[in-house]
Structure formats: structure tokens, C-alpha cells
């Protein structure tokens, strides 16, 4: 099964480990992520002001390109997923904006593409039971904090991937991989997002709250689905360790990297060298590798 795939700018560069580990894991469970022949940045933020139609033209172009390659488009980055899915809804439901956008990008796109997250492909098209069957290195005894962040879940009526207050899709996946998911209070809270550009104190505090909250509930590892969450958490790690007694840091990895481990993929192909904390001592301690 081939599914058209939109990597987005960050996965093509800084977060190459997210992209590569996802492609390898996809193949291990029986689908291929077919990168769109032509794509551009999605804009990295869905305009919250509805009069800003210009902000929808870039994601509309991506969606229009995707419609020429199939009826489904999958993506990994939470922000790309959020922007593409919400833009698609506007194009589908709002005729006036649809005509305006199509006129500008010189396309005739009607919003018919189904935007799905990689997690949804695993849950709804492959099935977590099939993922479980493909596990070669069960993540037995590994306590994993499931960090959803904001953009994967909100706004709930547009995203609909899971319950927006008490999501379980990550937990269900991790159970299939043999790990012990750790539920923690800050799993759907913000990491500080774009405040990384000029207000590091906010990022340190918010990301710190996420990490200490997860570790406080017993997490030995945190998984993310967004390169900005990954960056903010990793960047705040040492400062939080200095400020918080009893907190020594926790490895942060993309959820696809840990899937790759569980599915028995080559550990050198999963891009762990790009992560700030080394996850290998933990995996060795647990007898997973």
C-alpha cells in the first residue's frame, strides 16, 4: 500500500530522523510513504483570524498537489497535520474562500483529499494488532511518557484524531509495542511553541513542566510527534536539571524512532545520533537491545 506523504520543511532537514524512522517503520508494517512529487511549506501556523485567506494558499497548494496523487495524504509533524487538515476543511466547506484560494493558486481543488496523521494510518488502516504482530524487540518494561502537545489534538472539532482532553492513541500504540505508557498531567499542554524565537523563559518553564510532570509519574523516556516540541523539550533539558532537585533529565525521541526499535529495525538507521540524549543506555538496561 502506497500513501502519498507530505514531509514538510522541518522533516526534510532538522528533523530528518523523524522522517527516516517513519519511512523505515512504515515499510516494516506494510505500507510505503510516497513523498509528494512537488510540495512547499505549509506555513507552519493556521491563521487564527478567518479573514486571512492568504495564509491558506500555501497549504492549499500542497493539498491540490496531493489530490493529483491519490485521495489520502499522510503527514507526521503535528503542525503540518493541523494546518493541512484545517485548511482542507475550509476549502471543502466554504465555497467563497474555495473560489478565492483556487483563483489565487490557479488550481481547481475541492477539498476532497483525506488528511490523516501517521498515527491514524497505523491505527485505522494497518491496525495496532498488526503492528503488535510485527514487533521484533518488545519494549518490555520501558515506561514511556506520551507527549501529545497541542496541534495534534486542537481544535477538537477540526482535528478529531482522538479525545482532545484524554487522548489514548499514543498509549494504545505503545502498548502494542510492548511498552508501558505513562499518563501524566501535562501530556496535552503546550511546550512554549514559537515563543522559542524570543522568549526562552516561557519555553523553559512550559517544557520543563512537561518533562518533570512525566518523570514525576515514572516516565523513563518521552515520545513526541512535533519537531518544535522535540526542540523545545531537548533545549530546556539541562536548565531544568540544574533548577530541579532530583531531576536528572529524560531522553526525548520521536515516536517513530521508538516504533523502529520495536519493529527490529537497524538502530543506526533511526537517527538517534541527532537526539540530544542518548537513549541506548536505557534500552540496554532494559534488555531491549
Would you count residue 145 as binding other proteins (CB under 8 A)? Answer: no
Would you count residue 48 as binding other proteins (CB under 8 A)? Answer: yes
Binding track, positions 69-108, relative to other proteins; x by CB under 8 A: --------x-x-----------------------------
Reduced to 3 states, what is the DSSP secondary structure of residue 182? Answer: strand
Would you count residue 228 as binding other proteins (CB under 8 A)? Answer: yes
Residues 121-140 that bind other proteins (CB under 8 A): none
Shortest distance (Å) from residue 195 CB to other proteins = 6
* Helix pair angle (200-216, 227-243), 10° resolution: 80
Shortest distance (Å) from residue 264 CB to other proteins = 29
Among candidates 218, 217, 224, which has minimal Cα distance to 277?
Answer: 224
The contacts of residue 216 (CB under 8 Å, 6+ apart) are: 184
Of 25 and 230, the one with the shorter C-beta distance to other proteins is 230
The contacts of residue 82 (CB under 8 Å, 6+ apart) are: 46, 151, 152, 159
The contacts of residue 229 (CB under 8 Å, 6+ apart) are: 78, 147, 149, 191
Shortest distance (Å) from residue 165 CB to other proteins = 7
Of 36 and 41, the one with the shorter C-beta distance to other proteins is 41
Which span sits near other proteins by CB under 8 A: 130-138, 139-147, 188-196, 216-224?
A: 188-196
Among candidates 227, 228, 236, which has minimal Cα distance to 207?
Answer: 236
Would you count residue 167 as binding other proteins (CB under 8 A)? Answer: no
Residues 5-44 that bind other proteins (CB under 8 A): 8-10, 13-15, 41, 43-44
Would you count residue 53 as binding other proteins (CB under 8 A)? Answer: no
Among candidates 64, 118, 121, which has minimal Cα distance to 88?
Answer: 64
Among candidates 61, 157, 178, 70, which has minimal Cα distance to 109?
Answer: 61
Which span sits near other proteins by CB under 8 A: 98-106, 113-121, 195-203, 242-250?
A: 195-203
Amino acid at each position: 500500500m502506497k500513501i502519498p506523504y507530505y514531509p514538510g520543511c522541518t522533516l526534510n532537514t532538522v528533523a530528518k530522523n523523524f522522517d527516516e524512522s517513519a519511512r523505515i517503520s512504515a515499510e516494516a508494517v506494510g505500507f510505503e510513504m510516497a513523498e509528494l512529487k512537488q510540495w512547499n511549506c505549509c506555513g507552519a501556523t493556521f491563521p487564527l483570524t478567518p479573514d486571512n485567506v492568504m495564509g491558506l494558499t500555501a497549504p492549499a497548494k500542497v493539498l491540490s498537489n496531493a489530490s493529483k496523487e491519490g485521495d489520502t495524504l499522510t503527514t507526521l509533524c503535528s503542525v503540518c497535520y493541523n494546518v493541512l487538515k484545517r485548511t482542507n476543511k475550509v476549502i471543502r466547506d466554504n465555497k467563497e474562500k474555495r473560489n478565492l484560494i483556487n483563483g489565487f493558486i490557479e488550481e481547481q481543488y475541492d477539498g476532497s483529499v483525506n488528511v490523516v496523521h501517521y498515527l491514524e494510518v497505523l491505527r485505522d488502516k494497518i491496525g495496532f494488532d498488526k503492528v503488535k504482530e510485527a514487533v521484533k524487540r518488545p519494549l518490555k518494561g520501558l515506561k514511556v511518557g506520551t507527549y501529545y502537545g497541542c496541534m495534534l489534538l486542537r481544535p477538537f472539532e477540526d482535528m478529531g484524531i482522538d479525545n482532545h482532553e484524554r487522548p489514548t492513541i499514543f498509549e494504545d500504540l505503545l502498548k502494542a509495542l510492548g511498552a508501558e505508557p505513562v499518563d501524566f498531567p501535562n501530556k496535552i499542554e503546550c511546550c512554549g511553541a514559537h515563543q522559542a524565537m524570543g522568549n526562552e523563559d516561557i519555553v523553559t518553564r512550559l517544557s520543563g513542566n512537561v518533562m518533570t510532570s512525566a518523570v514525576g509519574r515514572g516516565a523513563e523516556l518521552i515520545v513526541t510527534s512535533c519537531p518544535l516540541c522535540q526542540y523545545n523539550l531537548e533545549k530546556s533539558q539541562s536548565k531544568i536539571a540544574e533548577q530541579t532537585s532530583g531531576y536528572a533529565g529524560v531522553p526525548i525521541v520521536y515516536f517513530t524512532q521508538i516504533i523502529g526499535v520495536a519493529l527490529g529495525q537497524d538502530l543506526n538507521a533511526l537517527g538517534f545520533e541527532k537526539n540530544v540524549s542518548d537513549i541506548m543506555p536505557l534500552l540496554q538496561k532494559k534488555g531491549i537491545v
